[in-house]
Amino acid sequence: MLHITVLVPFLLALMIALLRGRMARLHRGWLVLAGPLALFIYFLTRIPVIKGGDSGYETVSWIPSLGINLVFHLDGLSLLFTLLITGMGMLVIFYSIYYLDKRKEELTPFYVYLLIFMGAMLGVVLSDNLMVLYGFWELTSVSSFLLIAYWHRRQKSRYGALKSMLITVFGGLAMFAGFLMLYGMTGTFSIREIWSQAGDISGQPLFIPSMILILLGAFTKSAQFPFHIWLPDAMEAPTPVSAYLHSATMVKAGLYLVARFSPVFAGQHEWFWIVSGVGLITLIYGSIQAMKQTDLKALLAYSTISQLGLIMGLLGMGSAASFYTGEEAVFFTAATTAALFHLINHAIFKGSLFMVVGIVDHETNTRDLRKLGGLVSLMPVTFTVALIGSFSMAGLPPFAGFLSKEMFFTAVLNIRQLDILSPQSFFTIFPVLAWIASIFTFAYSMIMVFHTFFGKYQPEKLDKKPHEAPFGLLLPPILLALLAVITGLFPNILSKTLIVPGMNAIHPQLAASSPFYVNIYFWHGFTAEVWMTLGVILLGIVVYRVYGRLSLVDKEWRSGYTLNQVYDGSIRLVERVSRSVTGLYMTGSMRHYLMYIFTLIIVVVGGSLLYADGITFGQGQYAPVTFFEVVAVLVMLTGALAIPFAKSRIAAILLTGMVGYMVTLLFILFRAPDLALTQMIVEVVSVTLFLLCFRHLPRLKREKVKFRVKIPKLIIAVGFGATMTLVALAALGSSPFESISSYYVENSYTLGGGKNIVNVLLVDFRGFDTMFEITVLGLASLAIYSMIKLQLEPGSKPDLVRDVPDDNKPRYARSNDVLLQSVAKVAFVIIITFSVYLFFAGHNHPGGGFIGALMAAAGLVLLSIAFGTEFVEKVLPVDYRKLIAAGISIAFLTGIGSFVFDVPFLTQTFGYFELPVMGKTELTTATLFDLGVYLSVIGVTMNIIFTIGRDN
């Protein structure tokens, strides 16, 4: 069931998003409202169950192998928060229906974000699994970011959104690290199981770090000093969002986290000092800052910071109970009671005040205290609500805020009895701080209500004439104000239903020994708390009067911005540093990127070859060195070394060709006839191609490279060469594996039916390779074809260039050399015959599909050079692109043919047949496959050559 409650808001969000433009006349808010309403009612019905005891855990497996499952659990603390989330959510959505105009605003994203937030927040307070909790926690940050930036065209909205995101996500990550440390210590992500181990792990070295990291998450989320700076800027969000996320729910997630982890960490001195200390500092800092604000929402933001600090401080003081047992422990839990009670009260009165400010903003178009005044006669209902809200905030009877403030005073007075941490006299500072902060709280509450609604009405400063808000805007704050009165008069409605179950969750050990009994009532007699309250009221009025007399309200305060400057400065610094660091290496020059790659290879490969164990360079026996080989190598190296110095393109190309031919020679010398044949023909075709393409280009410019640039190039080049030499030598050394080559030598004839092992390897053992190889070749040639044919001009649409009419078709470079023409005719016939021979002989002798095809292509190229492409195309009207397709298809079909005989893809077979002319002949399916290779390679080569030739 709990899973469904978390899912409901997400499903609603999906529904709203899918609706898009449909039912545009219906305000999206009405569709959404039902969700939180139903959830609120559901959680209300759970109250009796939770009061009676545990509700149990509900588990849905997610990643069980890592111990991450969707375990949801509803206890007193979660219940209180779920009611806050759904109840406030309901009111805020109702309010937003009247606040956001469906004609002017983008409502779908607004409600989608709001619902995502609601679901995520429910997930946070219901999860028992830390990783799930973390996920939902970050999702609340993200949805808060989106909602603050709702009016994303405003620069300030974006600034505020980013700030809140950076700070809360920073805290979230710290918390994540804390969770992982807890996991490391306990071996579980379940909060419940961590509780049970709390006593065992408290001595471990990571215990305190994990506590501090988790607190960082809580403090950033709950806007505690000094991380509070994001909250005032978050006020750029629409007011319903401020009321909901940034006062009632999301900012309280930090309080929830502290309360949730109290059973683990309470009892640690550090926990007590950090939580209560930070809380009290935030309380007094926030209340002083609130005095300085001229914007109503900013005033409320600082007030929220201050009140969150108050609750945080109370939770810290409540943890003092863990130092004691029995009666004394219960004595200190008064702070926890006050914390939970004030948590509810704060949501109620702050929610109503935010809505009031929204109304004022809506009606006057300003929130500036310097422009506002005298609205009481124009907006009496709004004024009444504001009065109740701010009196409750100030802590005046008979409102609930009075009660929680009394309890707060009790708690700070009680803490003086804490005798185990430090001299008791020190704790006197707690009530003093609390008392001073309360005076400021009283004063800014008065400023807020009286400066807005009394004083001089200044219509000239307002854009529009204000009047009372529509009923829809008034209803939610009125309901909240009523609640503030009711809970003030009958506080015990809350004490048994929500506060006691909540305390049971925060102090499980105490609750087990003696059930909590909370009875909140108004009059205790003339106790210290009453005198403190009277003092607050008297001094608060004095401060307020002095403030008004000195016109301090109108003053622009310049102080208090230093923390923001730190934030802005560090953001700028990070941006600048990362930009300059990135600029150092992301130069936009491809040569630099290549250099990084080469350097990495040198370091990784070369380094590991030199320093890794078990690598030997070279072997004992080497092949003898012969004269021819040395000459071939020397010529090859001379050619290679000359290329960088070549002055013209032709020279450079020919030198490269020379290197190629020397490699061919080496192939022959090293007993690789197939390679030699292939390399030789490829060299012919490539050089032709090079010359075809580059004969139109301008002379090769001498590269004017500065010495400074040349040196690193040279170092990298030499380093790379040396690395490859090392690789070659290492490969010759001892190998940990046995070579698989002997298998091929032994089985080439028996399994493949061929005596040319290399060819059998290509068409049979590694036929799959070959099939993809011709596919790649086909793709390359088609890419070339489209590069030439699709004349992509910048800015124009790709358009197939129509074929030029025949009569002025540009001519292929055509020779008039009669000698060449007559030789070519004869040579062509010889070459083609040789090609066919190579193809058929390939299986047993040097040759094969590749070589034969390249040979045939070379013949065609010769013919084209001698007679021109037109002639060749006329004599051999072949569409070479179709030839490629045919070739690949034949090869593929041969492979598929294996299935007919129920053997794996590309299994070749062979047999001997008596043929009429040729006698006993061996026929293999591999020949058929090779035919595919043959045809496609001819197609590829001729397609490339003719495409370029025709373009010239």
Partner 1 sequence: MEILIALAIGVLFTVGVYLVLSKSLLRILLGTTLLTHGVHLLLLTMAGLKTGASPLLGEKADSYVDPLPQALILTSIVISFGVSAFFIVLAYRAYRSAGMDDVEGSKGERP
Residues numbered 689-728 forming contacts with partner 1, rule: CB under 8 A: 689-690, 693-694, 697, 700-701, 703, 713-714, 716-718, 720-725, 727-728
Nearer to partner 1, 418 or 933 (CB): 933
What's the closest the beta carbon of residue 224 comes to partner 1, in angstroms?
A: 38
- Of 652, 665, 831, 891, the residue at the interface with partner 1 (CB under 8 A) is 652
- 317 within 8 A of 341, measured Cβ to Cβ: no
Kindly state the smallest distance separating residue 869's Cβ from partner 1, in Å: 16
Task: Candidates 199-207, 343-351, 498-506, 741-749: pick the segment binding partner 1 (CB under 8 A).
Answer: 741-749
Q: Please identify which residue in 656, 835, 908, 927 interacts with partner 1, judged by CB under 8 A.
A: 656
**Least distance to partner 1, CB of residue 461, Å:** 48
User: For residue 710, which of 787, 644, 615 has the smallest C-alpha distance?
Assistant: 644
Cis check: omega of the bond before 398, within 30 degrees of 0: yes
Check residue 363 and report its DSSP letter.
H
The correct pick among 188, 564, 844, 898 for binding partner 1 (CB under 8 A) is: 844
Positions in 149-178 near partner 1 (CB under 8 A): none
Shortest Cβ 661–partner 1 spacing (Å): 11
Distances (CA, A) of 181 to 284, 748, 938: 33, 61, 65
Residue with tokens 């005798």: 419
Name the residue nearer to partner 1 (CB basis): 425 or 589.
589
Least distance CB 866 / partner 1 (angstroms):
22
Is residue 7 within 8 A of residue 38, CB to CB? The reply is no
- Give the interface segment with partner 1, choosing from 59-67, 813-821, 838-846, 879-887 (CB under 8 A): 838-846
Residues between 848 and 907 with contacts to partner 1, criterion CB under 8 A:
850
What is residue 370's three-state secondary structure? coil
Nearest approach, Cβ of 674 to partner 1 (angstroms)?
Answer: 6
Q: Which is nearer to partner 1, 220 or 894 (CB)?
A: 894
Dig out the tokens for 213 from the structure: 């990291």
- b/e string for 908-928 if b means 16 or more Cβ within 10 A? bbbeeeeeeeeeeeeebbbbb
Provide, rounded to whole angstroms, the least separation between the CB of residue 92 and partner 1: 43
Query: Do the Cβ atoms of 55 and 75 come closer than 8 Å?
Result: yes
Nearer to partner 1, 180 or 595 (CB): 595
**Listed residue (650, 822, 652, 614) closest to 734, CA to CA:** 614
> Least CB distance from residue 883 to partner 1, whole Å?
15
Cβ 579 to partner 1 shortest distance, Å: 9
Encoded tokens for 39: 């959830």
**Cα separation, 556 vs 538, whole angstroms:** 27
Residue among 470 and 644 whose Cβ is closer to partner 1: 644
Q: Which of 462, 486, 595, 832 binds partner 1 (CB under 8 A)?
A: 595
CB 448 within 8 Å of CB 390: yes
Q: Which is nearer to partner 1, 289 or 947 (CB)?
A: 947
Whether the CB-CB separation of 47 and 79 falls below 8 Å is answered with yes
Distance between first and last Cα of the chain: 75
Q: How far is the CB of 783 from partner 1 (least distance, A)?
A: 6
Task: Kindly give, in sequence order, each residue whose CB lies less than 8 Å from that of residue 174, ignoring residues fewer than 6 positions away.
Answer: 213, 214, 216, 217, 220
Q: Which is nearer to partner 1, 284 or 865 (CB)?
A: 865
Number of neighbours of residue 889 by Cβ within 10 angstroms: 13
Backbone angles phi, psi at 72, to 5 degrees: -115, 145
Cβ proximity to partner 1, 321 vs 940, nearer residue: 940
Q: Which is nearer to partner 1, 135 or 719 (CB)?
A: 719
Task: Give the per-residue contact string, 750-789, with partner 1 (x = CB under 8 A; - = no).
Answer: -----xxxx--xx---x--xx--x--xx--xx-xx--xx-
Q: Is residue 236 a contact partner of residue 291, using CB atoms and an 8 Å limit?
A: no
Write down the H helix ranges in 643-740.
Answer: 649-669, 673-694, 707-732
Total residues at the site for partner 1 (CB under 8 A)?
Answer: 109
Subset of 443-462 contacting partner 1 (CB under 8 A): none
Between CA 431 and CA 618 the distance in angstroms is 84
Residue in the block written with tokens 């059998």 = 760
Contact positions with partner 1 (CB under 8 A) in 349-368 = none
Q: How far is the CB of 884 from partner 1 (least distance, A)?
A: 11
Of 888, 632, 872, 868, which is closest to residue 779 (Cα–Cα)?
A: 888
Site for partner 1 in 605-644 (CB under 8 A): 618-619, 622-626, 629-630, 633, 636-637, 640-641, 643-644
Site for partner 1 in 497-516 (CB under 8 A): none
Q: How far is it, in rounded angstroms, from Cα 875 to Cα 845?
A: 32
**Is 397 or 673 the residue whose CB approaches partner 1 more closely?**
673
- Looking up tokens 């509803």 gives 74
Residues 663-692 contacting partner 1, CB under 8 A: 663, 666-667, 669-675, 678-679, 682, 685-686, 689-690
- Give the separation between CA 835 and CA 361, rounded to whole angstroms: 90
**Least spacing, CB of residue 716 vs partner 1, in Å:** 6
Name which of 615 and 700 has its Cβ closer to partner 1.
700
Q: Indicate the residue among 488 and 639 with the shorter CB distance to partner 1.
A: 639
Q: Considering only 452-460, 518-526, 585-593, 858-866, which stretch makes contact with partner 1 by CB under 8 A? A: 585-593
Query: Site residues for partner 1, window 929-948 (CB under 8 A)?
Result: 937, 940, 944, 947-948
DSSP notation for 111-177: HHHHHHHHHHHHHHHHB-BHHHHHHHHHHHHHHHHHHHTTSTTSHHHHHHHHHHHHHHHHHHHHHHH
DSSP one-letter code for 790:
B
User: Is the Cβ of residue 153 or residue 591 nearer to partner 1 in the bound state?
Assistant: 591
Contact predicate 748/832, CB 8 Å: no
Pick the stretch among 57-65, 392-400, 455-463, 590-598 that binds partner 1 (CB under 8 A): 590-598
Binding partner 1 by CB under 8 A: which of 512, 584, 590, 826?
590
Beta-carbon contacts of 137 under 8 Å, excluding residues fewer than 6 positions away, are 120, 124, 172, 175, 217, 221, 253
Binding partner 1 (rule: CB under 8 A), the pick from 18, 420, 612, 745 is: 745
If the CB atoms of residues 700 and 886 are measured against partner 1, the closer one turns out to be 700
Query: Taking a C-beta distance cutoff of 8 angstroms, is the pair 832, 859 a contact?
Result: yes
**3-class secondary structure, 924:** strand
Residue type at position 396: L
Residue selected from 49, 729, 751, 923 as contacting partner 1 according to rule CB under 8 A: 729
Q: How far apart are CA 342 and CA 402, in angstroms?
A: 10
Q: Is 848 helix (H, G, I), strand (E, B) or coil?
A: coil
In the complex, minimum distance from the CB of residue 616 to partner 1, in angstroms, rounded to a whole number: 13
Of 366, 514, 391, the closest CA to residue 446 belongs to: 391
**Residue 820 makes contact with partner 1 by CB under 8 A:** no
Segment 10-69, which members bind partner 1 (CB under 8 A)?
none
Closest contact distance (angstroms) between CB of 943 and partner 1 is 10
Q: Which is nearer to partner 1, 853 or 866 (CB)?
A: 853
**Beta carbons of 928 and 898 less than 8 angstroms apart:** no
Of 227-246, binders to partner 1 (CB under 8 A) are none
| Shortest distance in whole angstroms from residue 625 CB to partner 1 | 5
Among 739, 796, 808, 816, binds partner 1 (CB under 8 A): 739
